[in-house]
A and B are shown apart, each in its own frame.
Chain A
Amino acid sequence: MNDIKARIKSVNSTMQITKAMELVATSKLRRAKLRAEQSEAYTRIAMAAMDEILRAPGVSESPYTKTRAGGKVLYVVIAGDRGLAGGFNAGIFRTVAALGLENALVLPVGKKAVEYYRTRATCLSDAFSPIDDMTVGAAMRMAELLVRGFDEEKFDRAVLVYTRFVSMISQVPTYTELLPLKRGEGGQDPVTDEDIEELLAQLLPPYLGGLIWGAIAQSLAAESGARRTAMNAANKNAEEMIESLGLSYNRARQAMITQEITEIVSGAEAL
């Protein structure tokens, strides 16, 4: 009986933790969603401008739109800082593994990603962690690092892997090609004071930075969503467990009382 009592106590204290974590995840999710929405205006302007440039006939010679023969890929992998979020981090690592890690470089973002790839892949930098209080400046630095690495031919393609926040209960690991840029067709050279290829080179870092920042915002929202769901399930399990443990406890107590009565009665009879 004391055993059961101890177990109920321990499950109860675990539930207190998971409950608190669920609450924290819910409030973090709200903030992360706001941030994701906030980044959309910037991304929209940046993408519209980039689209116009990429459809212009004048950029046909830019090194950023050329497909290179080498097959070296850089993955920008965005994961979380902490576990206990269901399959959130594992899902991202699996997606990267499915894309193929041989002959690849990784730029890990977030504590879990940095820890995971430190031993498993060649990292471009392990400075981008923790992700929780990352600023736009960090995303811009990543973009500059990317452009520089691409210029120096450290890699031939760059792919951004992150988790998209679809809804409270659905978070999907996904990836987008960052470099080389895909040329569009049928456009005209935009009106500008600068050389169009020069313009592309100047706008590339803020463009990529915007995309990375958007992905970070999405990933943070997805992480909180995943953690909320996981903690919610843990709470339900704990409640069920306490209930069934309570039943066994009562049964054990009743058995003890019955036994005591039997002993007293049979003791009285023996007199």
Chain B
Amino acid sequence: MKEFPLQIVTPDKTVLDGNATSLLIRTAAGDVEILAGHAELLSALGTGRARIRFADGSETLASVSGGFLSVSGGKVCVAATAAELSDEVDLARAEAARQRAEERIRNAKDKDEITLAKAKLARALSRISVKTAK
């Protein structure tokens, strides 16, 4: 399969910079799969699991939340507010974050708190799913 250059960055680190053959990622509009030669695209990322396939057939999962997805000039750039490859995810921490978020939702007093906690929960769930869905 044809390869394309893929860069996944967050404000504080470069998560991935190399070539891939496929990127499946959740945007605000839904899941999209990007292969080499994809048309120009600009999209907002949702919170969820991303799957990256490489030329040697191996694949890796990543938890990605919020930010930009841009396909331009054959180059695919993901600028996420938070992103972790599956082997970087700390399952115990994610599990703890999930419990905290669930508790927050139960005890929330106003709408803002619920929205915030729900976003936290989504991120924790996405991290957990990246780790457990092997």
Give A contacts to B, CB under 8 Å.
Answer: 35, 38-39, 41-43, 45-46, 48-49, 52-53, 135-137, 139-140, 190-194, 199, 202-203, 205-207, 209-210, 213-214
Contact = CB atoms under 8 A, between A and B. Distances in A.
Contacts of A206: 44, 66-68, 79-81
Given A45-B7, A49-B68, A213-B11, 6 more contacts: A41-B79, A136-B10, A136-B11, A194-B43, A194-B44, A203-B44
Nearest to A199: B44
Contacts of A46: 67-68, 79
Interface in B20-42: 27-30, 32, 39-42
Contacts of B81: 136-137, 140, 206, 209
Contacts of A42: 9-11, 79
B66 A199 contact: no
Given A140-B81, A191-B39, A210 B29 contact: no
Given A193-B27, A205-B66, A206-B67, A41 B44 contact: no
Interface in B61-90: 66-68, 70, 72, 77, 79-82
Interface residues of B, number: 28
Looking at B42, B43, B72, the one whose CB has the most chain A CB atoms below 10 A away is B42
A58 to B, nearest CB: 12
Given A38-B13, A39-B12, A45-B70, A191 B79 contact: no
A207 B82 CA distance: 13
B94 to A, nearest CB: 15
Given A194-B44, A205-B66, A45 B79 contact: yes
A135 B10 CA distance: 12
A73 to B, nearest CB: 24
B14 interface: yes
B79 A192 contact: no
A192 B68 contact: no
A209 B11 contact: yes
Contacts of A139: 11
B42 A199 contact: yes
B55 to A, nearest CB: 23
A190 B40 contact: yes
Given A49-B70, A203-B68, A190 B42 contact: yes
Given A136-B82, A194-B28, A199-B44, A45 B77 contact: yes
A127 B83 CA distance: 25
Given A190-B40, A203-B44, A210 B79 contact: yes
B12 A52 contact: no
A199 B79 contact: no
Nearest to B42: A190
A271 B72 CA distance: 106
Given A140-B81, A202-B28, A192 B41 contact: yes
Nearest to B115: A144
B42 to A, nearest CB: 4
Contacts of B9: 41-42, 45
A43 B40 CA distance: 20
Nearest to A43: B11
19 contacts: A38-B14, A45-B68, A45-B77, A46-B79, A48-B70, A49-B68, A136-B12, A139-B11, A140-B66, A140-B81, A191-B40, A192-B41, A193-B32, A194-B29, A199-B28, A202-B44, A206-B80, A207-B68, A213-B12
